[in-house]
Amino acid sequence: MPATQAAPTDPRSLPQARRIAAIVYPDNAYPGPAFEALVRLCRDRGLVLAGVLQHQVYAAPDRLCDVVLEDLTTGHRTAIFEDRGPGAAGCRLDEGALAEATARIEGNLDGRIDLLVLNKFGKAECGGGGLLDLMASAVDRGIPTIIGVPRGNLEAWRKFAGEFAVELSEDVGGIERWLEGLRTAHALSG
């Protein structure tokens, strides 16, 4: 069964299985402000977060892959791009750095975690790697998870997440309603 196409009107009607959410966004238009608002909202509510917050390093259109991931538990920052110099084409994802960040996050899941925040279901995840094992670990532990999914990767996301996920827009109100639905379903302890 494919993932729900839109958040239900009343998030309290969400089955407990809908503990995974995708913030779907246009390709090359990462919803940084929505993720920053989500983190602030969760921290204001006293929720314990694990995962990462993505920060753009350069604003130039040819450097869209140049990001740093901030560990939400420790504040540690990991650059996940390879600087291959001017004129380099395509995504410059440093898969070794991504694996390092993923291992760090996995270690943070041992304590009480209310929500796992992940930056992107990208090329690595579409290929079966990247953050997929981390997401599976969170699901096994009953930790709700939210991740950004560019429209170009939506089909691969739906194959991965299936009926266990709900798709949200960048609208902070909709994200907040999803969080409230989790709280109502007793998935969040905060």
pLDDT tens, residue order, the chain (190 aa): 334 444 433 333 444 447 899 999 999 899 999 999 999 999 999 999 999 999 877 655 555 567 888 999 999 998 877 666 666 555 666 778 788 888 889 988 988 899 999 999 998 899 998 899 999 999 899 999 999 999 999 999 999 998 889 999 999 999 999 999 887 765 555 4
What's the confidence (pLDDT) of residue 87? Answer: 63
CA distance 65 to 183: 34
Q: 165: which 2 tokens?
A: 């996920």
Measured in degrees and rounded to the nearest 5, phi and psi for residue 37 equal: -65, -40
**What tokens appear for 184 in the block?**
């109502």
Q: Which residues of 175-189 are buried (b: 16+ CB within 10 A; e: fewer)?
A: bbbbbebbbebebbe
CB 114 within 8 A of CB 145: no
- Would you list the DSSP string of 35-61? HHHHHHHHHHTT--EEEEEEEES--SG
Model pTM greater than 0.85?
Answer: no
Domains of the chain and CATH, by start:
11-55+67-76+105-184 (3.40.50.300)
Euclidean distance between CA atoms 68 and 57, whole angstroms: 7
